[in-house]
A and B are shown apart, each in its own frame.
Chain A
Amino acid sequence: MLTMQNVSKVFRTEVVETHALRDFSLTVAEGEFITITGPSGCGKTTFLNIAGLLETYTSGQYLLDGQDVSRLNDFQRARLRNQKIGFIFQSFNLMPDLNLFDNIDVPLRYRGMKAAERRQRIESALDSVGLLSRKKHIPSQLSGGQQQRVAIARALVGEPRFLLADEPTGNLDSNTAFGVMELLQEINDRGTTIIMVTHDKSLAGKSTRNIHILDGRIQQCTDDTHLVRIPA
């Protein structure tokens, strides 16, 4: 469903060129749970941003469901993001003055869905992360782990084909991180493809494939034929 062929990304300023990705090639199949690891600045987030159509690339080819995304305009890219991709961020990125219901409502609004269907989906998503009773609360009234679960509910409410998670447990203590990881595995088990950036090698071990990036290149790719997924 996701194919990158020799994708490169160069950030240029007046004085310096930074090669964030170099000849990056990767194919992700439906239902995979991939973790991306590597040191800071190696290009993990750049890869995730390109995969999520938030960033353009300098050269190479990126096909999403067989569609060459370089040919898409802003409107088409936004529609793809809205319909096929869910994002989870390290710092949750919830809107502070919207309650949980309204936070989860945001992607559905851009889909032009009717109010009754939105309500049903939002409540179902909140229920799936165990926070339905707190739908009128604002994010600051929740713990970090709860906020991340709301962010996951927001990412899932549109029923995307795959989730892009950028260090989703980076701001959480180990117990909470474990809970979030467990939730992600459940989501993956239900068929959603997940690509997760993480620094945590123990979490990487729970994926079906780990990709290690160094200096913008894939250094090592370990698939589940070599890596046994540790049960949650």
Chain B
Amino acid sequence: MFLYYLRLSALSYRRNPVLSSLMVLAVAIGVGAYMVVYTLNYFMGGDPIPQKSSVLYHLQIDSGNPDDTFEPPSQLTWLDATALLNADNNYRQTASSKFNAVVEPEGDGARPFSINGRGNFGDFFPMFDAHFLYGGGWDRGADEGNQQVIVLSRELNDRLFGGVNSVGQTVNLQGNRFEITGVLDNWQPFPKFYDVNNGPFDSIEDAFVPWNLITSLPLSRGGNTNCWKAPVGTGLQAFLNSECVWIQYWIELPSTQDRENYLDFLDNYTRQQQELGRLLRPVNNGLFNVNQWLVREEVLPQETQILAALAAMLLAVCLLNTVGLLLSKFLGKSGEIGLRQALGAHKGSLFTQHLVEAGFIGLIGGLLGLGVAKLGLWGIEGLIGDLMTTDWMQLNPVLITVTLLLSVGSTIVAGLYPIWRACNVNPAIHLKTQ
């Protein structure tokens, strides 16, 4: 019967094309607008690493100014990061921070170009499930030995080596030769949770090197830096010994017990530092898993939530219009409904027939809504394309399915009252007057 009802729905659309098209348009606009905002929320507020997000923790050590009441800083000082890294535990962990460098390609006529890089520990790659096209990351020995090794992004490997396996070859970075241990595949956590201080929606870095090299070579440090008091003295060492925060620090704690143990360790460390005259605020350490960290750092802008509410209201208005139009359409079919009852249809089958018809309108509205959503996303891409990468702003199969389900589902809900009214008319009246 479903196919029969579907055919009747198509006939009904053809019989009343203007009214039906108005409904489709109302649904398309409402669903399309909602899906634009939903798409933004879906990607910007999604879990970037669902398989591990509950065991990866970003550290919070409150190294802020004891004379103010600001929130604890989001990053760590070099003093704290190195102290924690030197602590003897077996957890995977990594400090990381951005750097900028100039790559000097081999070959005649090849011109140098600048890249964004990241200093991190070898644990970074397995912790964050980085996907490799060739090779892999480096081991702890490379971290401890300040070995000049490097992992390239796929794009940089394409640019330097034409996409072939470059593992074992070298690349010249800022006058220093680095041996390539791996090339990342199309790996793009979104949001880029491991560093939300420096563009949570930016592309991953072009190259990754051992973190210690940022300070030992040194490389040109980049990214967000906050200091509540000026470094004492000048030069790199003075900066490193300061209370400036610029380092992201992640640790993988597989169990709740590990988390509690590590938090105790952090508290003890803080008390020890307080005895030495640092970390003068009350102990306020924290371990935030990936999703908690994204919320704490307000990665999903509040504006998108307001937009979501507005889009939901627009969808509601469009659906209310659809209710009115469906009421008009279905009550206009009272004669047919009465006739079908006379010929043996019970109210349940008539109800189902018209639910299918409402769903049919919703489906066409949803297909058109996909176009509206695509247009909306293009518009947003044009607006914010200069501020962040917008490659992710695509309607993937999940979002297409959500759009169609939302459209069909909401139109069916909008149709419930009109259908109920239409199916409860007295057939006898309409049979005489039809």
A residues sitting closer than 8 Å to B (CB atoms) are 45, 49, 52, 54-55, 74-75, 77-79, 81-83, 87, 89-91, 93, 95-98, 106-107, 109-111, 154, 158, 166
Contacts and interface: CB of A to CB of B under 8 A. Distances in A.
B387 interface: no
A87 B428 contact: no
B428 A93 contact: no
A79 B344 contact: yes
Interface of B: 1, 4, 11, 14-15, 335-336, 338-349, 426-428, 431-432, 434
B434 A54 contact: no
Contacts, number: 71
B336 A95 contact: yes
Given A93-B339, A95-B339, A45 B432 contact: yes
Contacts of B4: 109
Contacts of B346: 74-75, 77-79, 110
A106 B343 contact: yes
A54 B431 contact: yes
B342 A52 contact: yes
B412 to A, nearest CB: 22
Given A54-B427, A54-B428, A55-B428, A89 B434 contact: yes
Contacts of A109: 1, 4
A36 to B, nearest CB: 14
A81 B432 contact: no
Contacts of A93: 335, 339, 342, 431, 434
Contacts of A90: 432
Contacts of B348: 74-75
A91 B430 CA distance: 11
A45 B426 CA distance: 14
Contact of B341 (A54, A91, A95, A97): A54
12 contacts: A49-B428, A54-B428, A55-B426, A55-B428, A78-B346, A78-B347, A81-B344, A95-B339, A97-B15, A106-B343, A107-B344, A110-B344
A91 B345 contact: no
A52 B338 CA distance: 12
A91 B344 contact: no
A110 B345 contact: yes
Contacts of B335: 93
B431 A78 contact: no
Nearest to B427: A54
Nearest to A91: B434
Given A45-B432, A54-B341, 16 more contacts: A49-B431, A52-B342, A54-B342, A55-B428, A74-B348, A78-B341, A79-B346, A89-B432, A89-B434, A91-B434, A93-B335, A93-B342, A96-B15, A107-B344, A110-B343, A110-B344
A97 B339 contact: no
A74 B427 CA distance: 13
Contacts of B432: 45, 89-90, 166
Contacts of A78: 341, 344-347, 349
Contacts of B336: 95
Contacts of B11: 97-98
B432 to A, nearest CB: 6
A74 B346 CA distance: 6
A97 B1 contact: no
A94 to B, nearest CB: 9
Contacts of A97: 11, 14-15
Contacts of A77: 346
A83 B346 CA distance: 13
Contacts of B340: 106, 110
A81 B434 CA distance: 19
Contacts of A89: 431-432, 434
Nearest to A55: B428
Highest count of chain B CB atoms <10 Å: which of A81, A83, A90, A98 = A81
A166 B430 CA distance: 13
Contacts of B341: 54, 78, 81
The list of the 9 closest CB pairs from A to B, nearest first, reads A82-B344, A78-B346, A110-B344, A49-B428, A107-B343, A54-B428, A75-B346, A55-B428, A87-B342
A105 B432 CA distance: 22
B163 to A, nearest CB: 57
Highest count of chain B CB atoms <10 Å: which of A78, A97, A111, A166 = A78
B354 to A, nearest CB: 15
Contacts of A96: 15
Contact of A74 (B1, B347, B434): B347
